[in-house]
């Protein structure tokens, strides 16, 4: 069995998500193709040279380098049992950027501009419930609880299951979609093969096309809808622990970053320069 096959089996046994498996295996495959040699015969110097090639020749950014290092670490630590290969490899510093957010009007215009009922319904679910696009694509008919107005997310990040709110508008859209398409099988949004769901990658182009159609001068991806959901909840007064639970974040620190992009919170704060002379002396000394 090749190192790549062994890694695939290990990832599967480890219960890593399909997205993680695909990403890690792709990184390791490129590493093997670069040297045209078995990774068992390679060491720290080859790993460093490969990473430098990605950075300086291919122009790969810090985030992608970080994923590549994680994939190679998994290969050498868990599959080939040679942890010393990656122990001295530095991890690149990734610049923490604030999430992009759309206004409520922009979200409505964007979703309306999507022609396909399939794509529009999936992306509406992503925004209405704050789902990752992979979670929206994997929704099943049994996940819809219209009595309690809840959606079950079975395959969240890290294998964590959670419940999110079921918007009345989303429920109406799901029912209209179901009546029009009558999808076979458990998945609401079936893929081309029996027992599969639609691939998340098929959502990127329709969303970008809709953004161009309405003249939206922002880079829009499905994940921007999730960021917008969280920020809009925060601006409407929802507390951070509730938003954390809805998004399925392990740490509230991840959720707290939305306080930095909440327009209402920022604009509603008063600059100390605008305090009266009396208040400035009282509060600031």
Catalytic residue among 119, 120, 197, 226: 226
Let me know if 182 is a catalytic residue. Answer: no
State the pairing for strand pair 162-165/144-145: unpaired
Catalytic residue among 66, 249, 257, 265: 249
Catalytic residue among 223, 260, 263, 280: 223
Catalytic residue among 157, 162, 213, 257: 157
Let me know if 282 is a catalytic residue. Answer: no
Alpha carbons 57 and 51: distance in angstroms, whole number: 10
Let me know if 226 is a catalytic residue. Answer: yes
Question: Who contacts 43 (Cβ-Cβ below 8 Å, separation ≥6)?
Answer: 85
Three-point CA angle 258, 135, 73, nearest 5°: 80
Alpha carbons 180 and 196: distance in angstroms, whole number: 20
What is the SS3 assignment for 38? coil
Q: Which of 158, 169, 160 is nearest to 121 (CA)?
A: 169
Question: Who contacts 89 (Cβ-Cβ below 8 Å, separation ≥6)?
Answer: 44, 47, 48, 51, 69, 72, 73
Catalytic residue among 132, 200, 227, 232: 132
Let me know if 157 is a catalytic residue. Answer: yes
Let me know if 258 is a catalytic residue. Answer: yes
* φ/ψ of residue 92, rounded to 5: -70, 145
Let me know if 249 is a catalytic residue. Answer: yes
Residues serving a catalytic function are 132, 157, 223, 226, 249, 258
């Amino acid at each position: 069995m090749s190192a790549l096959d062994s890694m695939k089996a290990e990832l599967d046994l480890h219960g890593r998500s399909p997205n993680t498996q695909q990403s890690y295996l792709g990184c390791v495959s490129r590493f093997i193709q670069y040297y045209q040699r078995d990774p068992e015969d390679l060491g720290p110097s080859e790993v460093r040279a490969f990473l430098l090639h990605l950075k300086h020749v291919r122009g790969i950014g810090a985030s992608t380098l970080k994923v590549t290092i994680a994939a190679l670490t998994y290969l050498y630590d868990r599959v080939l049992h040679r942890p010393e290969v990656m122990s001295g490899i530095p991890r690149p510093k990734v610049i923490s950027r604030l999430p992009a957010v759309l206004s409520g009007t922009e979200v409505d215009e964007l979703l309306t501009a999507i022609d396909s009922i399939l794509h529009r319904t999936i992306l509406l679910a992503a925004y209405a419930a704050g789902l990752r696009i992979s979670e929206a694509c994997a929704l099943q008919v049994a996940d819809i609880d219209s009595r309690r107005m809840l959606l079950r997310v079975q395959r969240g990040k890290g294998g964590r299951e959670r419940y999110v709110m079921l918007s009345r508008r989303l429920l109406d859209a799901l029912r209209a979609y179901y009546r029009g398409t009558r999808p076979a099988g458990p998945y609401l949004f079936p893929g081309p093969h029996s027992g599969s769901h639609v691939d998340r990658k098929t959502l990127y182009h329709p969303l970008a096309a809709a953004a161009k159609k309405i003249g939206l001068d922002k880079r829009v991806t499905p994940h921007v809808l999730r960021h917008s959901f969280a920020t809009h909840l925060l601006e409407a007064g929802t507390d951070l622990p509730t938003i954390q639970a809805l998004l399925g974040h392990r740490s509230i620190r991840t959720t707290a970053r939305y306080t930095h992009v909440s327009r209402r919170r920022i604009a509603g704060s008063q600059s100390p320069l605008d305090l009266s002379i009396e208040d400035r002396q009282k509060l600031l000394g």
